Amino acid sequence: MFLSRAIKKIVLLPLFVMMAIMISPLHAISMTSDLPINNIFSEVANKTTPAVVYITAELIASPYNQQQQQPAAPPLDLFEQFFGPRNPGMQQQQQQQQQQKQYSQGSGFLVSVDGYILTNNHVIANTQNIVVTLVDGNEYDAEVIGTDPSTDLAVIKISDEDKEFPFLTLGNSDILSIGEWVLAIGNPLGFQTSVSAGIVSAKNRGNLNLSSYEDFIQTDAAINMGNSGGPLVNLDGKVVGINAGLASNNGGYIGIGFAIPSTMAKTVMMQLIETGTVSHGFLGASLQNVTNDLAEAFDLEAVKGAIIADIVKDGAADKSGVERGDIVLEYDDIIVENMNTFRNAIGLMEPGTETLLTIKREGKIIEVPVIIGAHPDNIASEAISASVTQKIGLIVEPLDDDAAQKLGYIDEEGTVVTSVRPQSPADIAGIRPGALIISVNHKKVNDPEEFEKALSDNDSDKALILVKQGPMTLYITLKTK
């Protein structure tokens, strides 16, 4: 993504590596602040790092990403950097092994005494055999409790009946001040339990294309590849953010990092722990930011609020009487600063929640109660048992003339994929929206009904699918049960 003409890219932070872990143990959590600043940093680091974990997971290869992914670089070896390879033959063998398997590496932190861990979704997406390493060197196999790609958050869990794990507490990111000191903790570039200090540079950053719901904290605390999922803590040792990305023109740190605010993370985390899924609210309206010109045109006192640019028929807004051209100034007496913060607030509400919108319409201030609906993604995920097609994570449509022309499938026959549920069997297999499914187990499927029947008739737990995506046509195996 381009942040400016200087071509600064927004980078998600998993690092694909294979490495051994050697970390020295530390202790648990609570904070005082009547100390010199360097002592405070040391105190916070000593009391928070025991709960920060190192996460490695084997990437699940797909026919598509195998052709696109490059083998990961090995972790930095300072000896070899200065003196050359210790054993050239062994190094070559290790490089060959690395080309055969790729690993995702990132960070996370314990949030409970019984082993729940909060991290980024992109650290564990499309992976298997997740291993968590604590600062004392102990390793644990982790299970996935739940993921939410829309916020790029995930919860995994480790277990040990004989141990109470150290854990961190989520603080209140809403009261963070610009210029406030924070520490970023994680495993950048494979260096375990690394701590960097900085300040809160900005709040409410959006439009970074890191996730669907964006309200990032910007910090100049050093964040690099591999910091993903690690905590951003204040000087009380409370987690105020989850490190998620950086702006860079070369993939490395240039002083601009981003963290998911803890208030957003807490809402998502609790739902994932309780149910394994997250249900996002949906207003059913297209929103537009208020600019200086629009504020003047709508006679607004400040450049704040969100304009209702369009209404989804029979959606929550439509049913409640919200109209195109309305300007939402507040929800439940909370001022709408901009479109992004309002959209995030709605998305984090559970479907069925009633919220009171304060709206300016044709010069008048009115209040409109709205019952928040369910996001279409929620509806799809709740219906996955309705068919095998949905169970494997696909929505498909017939290949009509318009779709054939648009996608380049002239003179082709098959079924077009219009949507792929994240982390579903189809997603893991590498199927993407726009793919053309030609056959299942060597039987042609010319429409969604034939595709569903071919999957239903499949006796095995895997099906052989012939797929064309763009110029590539290839066979893949797809888990169906």
Catalytic member of 62, 104, 107, 122: 122
Backbone angles phi, psi at 374, to 5 degrees: -95, 135
Candidates 62, 104, 152, 424; catalytic one: 152
Query: Please, are residues 420 and 394 in contact by the beta-carbon 8 Å criterion?
Result: yes
As a whole number of angstroms, the distance between CA 153 and CA 269 comes to 8
Residue type for 137, please?
G
401 counts as catalytic: no
DSSP string, 292-321: HHHHHHTT-SSS-SEEEEEE-TTSHHHHHT
Contact 50, 113 (CB under 8 A): no
The catalytic residue among 62, 107, 228, 424 is 228
CA distance 240 to 401: 51
Task: Say which DSSP state 170 is in.
Answer: B
CA 394/CA 378 separation, integer angstroms: 14
Strand partners, 148: 153
Q: DSSP label at 190?
A: G
**CA-wise closest residue to 427 among 177, 60, 86, 76:** 60
- For 29, residues 6+ apart whose C-beta sits below 8 A from its C-beta are 47, 48, 50, 51, 166, 167, 168, 169, 237
3-state secondary structure of 227: coil
**Residue 15 and residue 242: Cα distance in Å, rounded?**
16
Report the alpha-carbon distance of residue 325 to residue 459 in Å, rounded: 54
Q: E strand or H helix at 282, and its extent?
A: strand 281-282
Give Cα separations from 132 to 36, 51, 76, 184 (angstroms). 34, 12, 21, 19
- To the query of whether residue 152 is one of the catalytic residues in this protein, the response is yes
Per-residue H/E/C for 77-141: CHHHHHHCCCCHHHHHHHHHHHHHCCEEEEEEEECCCCCEEEECHHHHCCEEEEEEECCCCCEEE
- Reply yes or no on whether 228 is catalytic: yes
Tell me which residues are annotated as active site: 122, 152, 228
